[in-house]
Structure 1
Amino acid sequence: MTDPRHNAPRRYFVDAQGKWVLIGLSLPETAEFEALDVTSGETVEIAAEIGLSDGAAAADEARWRELYSKHEGAWRAWIVQSQAERPQGSNFVNYV
């Protein structure tokens, strides 16, 4: 099976050790983000169902937002940089 990240916008890159990491995050941060991303909604729902305080869920949500913000900022900077490196004019299309 192919890696699903190949079908998504390029938000991952392969680091020097050959590991997939999110742009702007380290390998441990990427692993933490992905773990929080998978469980964040479930944690809130389970805590509410069994009547637990959602303090831990709120902390997880805050950490997820922190990591996402760090990644999003780096990803946007990467987009700007990649657009600046792209040739502006193309002779492929000739408008007359």
Structure 2
Amino acid sequence: MTFMLVPCAAAVLVGWIARHWALAGAALTGGIGLFLLVAPMGTTLSRLVLPFGTGAAIAGLAMIIVLKARPSTSVWSRMTIALTATFFPHFLFISYAMAGR
């Protein structure tokens, strides 16, 4: 559940906040920057930080592309695009991980 709900919540948050491609780029770099903090934290806190970082990074990348192409995108459209762009890679990752067991 953590590796599906937390990234999707982070994606919706990025889609709601990012109104310009520069803010989306900041969310992308912030999500990537969270990866640098995960290593010294240990496993318990990294189970929440890592999915949040991946959700923010993927949604930020999707928002950069969308907001560069169409800057006047509505809030619900941004959140839906960010959620979709984040859900599918995480779903495929979970499916791949479960198939390997």
Work out whether the TM-score is over 0.5. Answer: no
When the two structures are superposed, what TM-score results if normalisation uses the length of structure 2? Answer: 0.36
Higher strand share: 1
Relative contact order (alpha carbons < 8 A, sep ≥ 6): 1 or 2 greater?
2
Higher helix share: 2
- Determine which structure has more spread, i.e. the larger CA radius of gyration: 1
